[in-house]
Amino acid sequence: MISNVFTVDPWCVHEPELDVDLLGQTESLFALANGHVGMRGNLDEGEPHRMPGTYLNSFFESRPMPHAEGGFGFPEENQTLVNVPNGKLIRLLVDDEPLDVRYGQVHDHQRTLDMRSGILTRHVEWTSPNGQRVDVTSQRLVSFSQRAVAAISYAVTIPEDSESDALLVIQSELFANEQMPEITGDPRVAAALTKPLAPEHNSHSTYGARMTHQTKRSELRVGAAMEHQVFGPDDAKVESSCSKNVGRTTVICRLKPGQTLRIVKYLAYGWSSTRSQPAIVDQVEAALDASLYTGWDGLVTAQREYLDAFWARADIEIDGDPRLQQAIRFSLFHVLQAGSRAEKRAIGAKGLTGQGYDGHSFWDCETFVLPVFMHTNPRVAADALRWRHSTLDIATAHAATLGLKGAAFAWRTIRGEECSGYWPAGTAAFHVNADIADAVLRYVSATADDEFEREVGVDLLVATARLWRSLGHHDSASNFRIDGVTGPDEYSAIADNNVYTNLMAQRNLRGAADACVRHPREAERLGVHSEEIASWRAAASAMVIPFDEKLGVHQQAEGFTSHAFWDFDNTPEDAYPLLLNYPYFDLYRKQVVKQPDLVLAMVQCPDAFTPEQKAANFAYYERITVRDSSLSPGTLAVMAAETGHLDLAYDYLCESVQMDLADLENNVRDGIHLAATASSWTAIIQGLGGMRPHDGTLSFAPRLPSAVSGLRFRVLWRGRSVHVEIGHGQATYTLEEPTTGQGGPSGMSATSSEPLDLRHHDEDLTLTVDEPVTLDIPAAPQTGVVEQPAGRAPLFRRLHQ
């Protein structure tokens, strides 16, 4: 764990010194991306490293998926995110000695990720083995304003007190098919691919190089290009070359004490499954020309302007806990990096920060990531759902293979095909379909984007509703059952009537019926008739929701509360996560929860439970939830806050928001936990802020834990910006004038003069622009003690006891 490595700063993550043993973690934490291009935070010179990585969203290679025992409908191929040509490499030789932090003497090494500028800065003071000292400052950005572009400013200075000048050689490279380290032992870690890129074309100019490659199996084509500007002595020599896999620009000059050599490296990337090699070359050439036209200063200015607009609508201000303040901004920054310019492509579970999970997208995106964008940058949420819509044909074919109607979306995928080889935790986790439908319903509710609902939403809602009607059945008592499925808790599988799945399917069925009534033309196009709509409503009304009358709690799935309890007292701490130390057979038949399945149902479907049921359910499942998933603490924080356990909510919030910065699960080296960073927003906005959408109205029920003295945030709701300020006794709501750059869809019709109705702790209020309303916060409900399994109290609390 690395909780004390970084300086606490509200807007920066600053590493005051280099720890080579933590390079894997910092490569992920210092990764830069824009949703289209991603670059791990490797050192400029490339080595030492744990995992080099430059990624393009949805650029993958296929590979066969072997099965110990095959079965009908099993997926035959996997898809793995590919490391594209690495343009980060800038090697420095000082009098023939390469800069390498493992040799010579490092006097100072600092890196800073500035979340306002979007720039990673590195400063190194180094003396070579032969005694020559140099100061190196590099700055790196992946542009939000120019989607295909990244840039690096690299400056080398000979200190004025040096006794001699130095001969410098800078080798700036574009390197394809890098040798990747082999990683084994953890099934969640991506498989390494050996030289997946087949060379097609290469060329060079005086100041740069271009190359295209094609993947061998998926036949995707990628283009990469680099160009340089050189600032230094007039006699500096510049030359470039390019072979099949290596493009290199070399700058040579002699620097005197006090002199500086600076190069600016511009990079452009593009890929396609259909465009020709010349078209790809032209595409990246155009992007490169645009970056040169803009220049380094222009890219920096545009980056700051983009982020200023983002933080103006998305920032969360926390009083009383500086570390929490830093971590929530870090989380929001990485969420933005993962999706901002994804533009109708998948948002993976690791974003573009590493190859963990092979770069796949899961249900995590719709459930945890998209709500952040719905209330901060709705366009991104709409684009992500349009990507799901683009895979509808694949999902429909998958359902047909399974003997079902409608669409069965993949549990994990890049392009849409199912890539999970373990069907009990993959294909059987049908709730992903309801999660997608839920995201559609939440997006439409948050934005009133009627055009999106007509063009995309109705298709997705109808296809998923048809799946549930096909997958479930009415029993002899006319109850609607969904049997043999897996819910969010991956320590349970193939269960009957999982509460989360059934409630989400119920919402899906009703939402589809309502959407078809609102949009009869789209319903007719899809062949939906009144009888089918009636069958959806009937199934929803008759949905089985298991409840244990004796214990007074809902069962995670039918019969779950009758299972034997896991022996937590005799489970050693180093045996977690359990999935790496115990067979699934043993986990599946015990009361032990990996991630809060039933609790998530209460968060996602709050109106399906009474306050008393929520309190009882939370207490019961808290005793058996081990949180072996990074998805857990954010969800638990929301329900802990709602049931009055405010200090516990704070503990879980800290665990969620520090998941990556403190490397709480010891695997951030494989990429950040995007859903955990996003659920940090949920833990604050829905947990401490108590925000819930309900029947077209936004409601808040804020309360703060003792460790937080104040909280301020904004949310977008139907084109309006609502500023919320929370203290320990009162909350103030302000309806702000709309601002440009909110990323809203075209379907929003609200104007600045319209009032906005909200709810505060079941009290109605109406806001008008720039007229704040302050209301008292009622006391939290009386709570009993809730306990976690032995040794599984909130991790961040245990770290600081």
Least Cα distance to 632 among 687, 568, 676, 691 occurs for: 676
CA 682 to CA 427: how far, in whole Å?
27
DSSP 293: H
Positions in the chain short of pLDDT 70: 1-3, 183-192, 738-752, 796-801
What pLDDT digit, counting tens, does each position of 131-159 carry?
A: 999 999 999 999 999 999 999 999 999 99
pLDDT of residue 114: 98
CA 521 to CA 544: how far, in whole Å?
32
Least Cα distance to 48 among 79, 17, 27 occurs for: 27
How is 447-484 classified by DSSP, letter by letter?
A: H--HHHIIIIIHHHHHHHHHHHHHH-EE-TTS-EE--S
User: Tokens standing for 172?
Assistant: 């700036």
CA 244 to CA 199: how far, in whole Å?
6
Per the document, the length of the chain is 801
**Cβ contacts of 332 within 8 Å, gap of 6 or more:** 314, 315, 316, 372, 677, 681
pLDDT of residue 747: 38
- Alpha helices (runs of H) in 315-358, residue ranges in sequence order: 322-339
What's the N-to-C CA distance of the chain in angstroms? 16
pLDDT of residue 73: 86
- At residue 325's C-alpha, the angle toward residues 17 and 316, to 5°, is 140
Least Cα distance to 511 among 480, 479, 539, 474 occurs for: 539
How is 125-160 classified by DSSP, letter by letter?
A: EEE-TTS-EEEEEEEEEE-SSSTTEEEEEEEEE--T
CB distance 534 to 484 below 8 Å: no
Q: Alpha-carbon Rg of the chain, whole angstroms?
A: 27
12-310 is classed CATH 3.40.50.1370: no
Single pTM value for the model = 0.96
pLDDT of residue 2: 67
SS3 403: coil
What pLDDT digit, counting tens, does each position of 294-324 carry?
A: 999 999 999 999 999 999 999 999 999 999 9
What are the backbone angles phi and psi of residue 284, rounded to the nearest 5°? Answer: -70, -30
CA 542 to CA 478: how far, in whole Å?
7
CB distance 111 to 14 below 8 Å: yes
pLDDT of residue 3: 62
- At residue 765's C-alpha, the angle toward residues 764 and 766, to 5°, is 135
Please identify which of the residues 490, 522, 532, 655 carries the catalytic annotation.
Answer: 490
Q: Where are the domains of the chain?
A: 12-310, 361-545, 546-801
pLDDT of residue 69: 82
HSE of 237, CA atoms in CB hemisphere, 13 A: 8
SS3 688: helix
Q: Is 490 a catalytic site residue?
A: yes
Is cis: bond before 48, omega within 30 of 0? yes
pLDDT of residue 743: 46
CB distance 5 to 15 below 8 Å: yes
Least Cα distance to 746 among 355, 451, 337 occurs for: 451
pLDDT of residue 742: 44
pLDDT of residue 370: 98
pLDDT of residue 185: 52
- At residue 632's C-alpha, the angle toward residues 629 and 636, to 5°, is 165
Task: Say yes or no: do domains 12-310 and 361-545 share a fold.
Answer: no
Q: Which residue do the tokens 């009162």 mark?
A: 730
Largest CA distance in the chain: 93
Q: Which residue do the tokens 């008292």 mark?
A: 776
CB distance 685 to 332 below 8 Å: no
361-545 is classed CATH 1.50.10.10: yes
The total of other beta-carbon atoms located within 10 Å of residue 165's CB is 16
SS3 493: coil
SS3 545: coil
pLDDT of residue 798: 52
Residue ranges for the known binding site are 363-364, 594-595
HSE of 395, CA atoms in CB hemisphere, 13 A: 28
Residue ranges for the known binding site for substrate are 363-364, 594-595
CA 643 to CA 616: how far, in whole Å?
9
